[in-house]
């Protein structure tokens, strides 16, 4: 049984990685975040922070750049942990359309093996690619002189990536299980890739949204991923801002850029965001298992 599960998982991974266009589109949303930052957002943010520091008679170009870069890379990572698992679900949709899933059910392979293999392949693809992107982010911060991270921040960001991928993978695999056409999957892929960046504050800080939109973001798991990434990647830069301009300025800056999650008026601690993501992962694992059991039972009938 374990051999069949491993073989099916490897098969799904190879199918996903063989489609270079699908892999590229899984990274398209993070690339859009990066492109907008380089072309527009980064300059606007840096100029605004520099102007605010100038009122204190302080010039800190390196700290300003580090703050802006860390904020942008947090958004890149949060979107990556969603869009990569989403595109990896494409293998499951294609198999359903081509009848491959039905062949699995008719084969001597245990009925639970194929659904479990889809889930594991999505989880592994999301984790591996997200960690690679995180490594690129670390390299960028180091090479650009924006490195203010401690070892705890690095390991915290790695843990956040794995937890975020687990939460998004379980949710997406369950939801994509209800799709039966490639057109529907493509449409959802486009919508999620477009909307996600806004709802998690990758393009614009959540504090800039109307209050009712801010409440909506609290029901998007990716918002907690983004908050955790900001907490780890930006903690050092906020400390540097506090050293340069004082704690009130650093606190105001963190509020303006939604560094910490405002959970219905209460600042949500990192462990709280982690618990919510873990709860999402557990909830949708249970939903996925129940749905898989019902499908297998219906097929036997």
Per-residue pLDDT band at 298 (split at 50, 70, 90): low
- In this predicted structure, what is the pLDDT of residue 7? 86
Q: Where are the domains of the chain?
A: 2-300
pTM for the whole thing? 0.90
Q: Do 283 and 230 contact (CB within 8 A), yes or no? A: no
What is the distance between the alpha carbons of residues 70 and 52, in angstroms, rounded to a whole number?
19
Per-residue pLDDT band at 153 (split at 50, 70, 90): very high
- In this predicted structure, what is the pLDDT of residue 8? 87
Per-residue pLDDT band at 164 (split at 50, 70, 90): very high
For residue 252, pLDDT over 60 is answered with yes
Burial of 12 (0-12, 13-18, 19+ CB in 10 A): buried
Per-residue pLDDT tens digits for 23-66: 887 887 788 877 777 777 777 777 778 777 777 676 767 788 88
Mean confidence (pLDDT) of the chain: 85
Per-residue pLDDT band at 185 (split at 50, 70, 90): confident
């Amino acid at each position: 049984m374990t051999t069949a599960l491993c073989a099916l998982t490897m098969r799904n991974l190879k199918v996903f990685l063989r489609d270079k266009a699908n892999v590229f589109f899984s990274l398209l949303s993070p690339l859009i975040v990066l492109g907008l930052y380089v072309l527009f957002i980064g300059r606007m943010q840096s100029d605004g922070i520099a102007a605010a520091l100038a009122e204190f008679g302080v010039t800190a170009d390196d700290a300003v750049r580090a703050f802006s870069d860390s904020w942008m890379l947090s958004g890149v990572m949060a979107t990556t942990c969603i869009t990569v698992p989403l595109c990896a679900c494409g293998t499951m949709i294609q198999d359903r359309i081509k009848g491959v899933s039905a062949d699995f059910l008719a084969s001597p392979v245990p009925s639970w093996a194929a659904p479990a293999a889809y889930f594991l392949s999505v989880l592994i693809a999301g984790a591996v690619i997200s960690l690679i992107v995180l490594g690129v982010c670390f390299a960028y911060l180091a090479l650009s002189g924006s490195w203010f991270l401690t070892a705890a921040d690095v390991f915290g960001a790695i843990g956040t990536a794995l937890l975020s991928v687990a939460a998004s993978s379980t949710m997406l695999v369950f939801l994509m299980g209800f799709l039966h056409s490639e057109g529907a999957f493509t449409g959802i892929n486009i919508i999620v890739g477009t909307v996600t960046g806004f709802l998690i504050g990758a393009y614009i800080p959540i504090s800039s949204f109307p209050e009712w939109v801010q409440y909506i973001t609290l029901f998007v798991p990716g918002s907690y991923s983004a908050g955790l990434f900001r907490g780890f990647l930006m903690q050092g830069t906020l400390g540097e801002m506090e050293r340069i301009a004082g704690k009130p300025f650093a606190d105001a800056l963190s509020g303006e850029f939604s560094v910490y999650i405002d959970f219905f008026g209460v600042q949500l601690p990192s462990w709280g965001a982690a618990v919510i993501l873990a709860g999402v992962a557990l909830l949708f694992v249970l939903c996925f298992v129940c749905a898989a059991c019902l499908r297998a039972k219906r097929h036997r009938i």
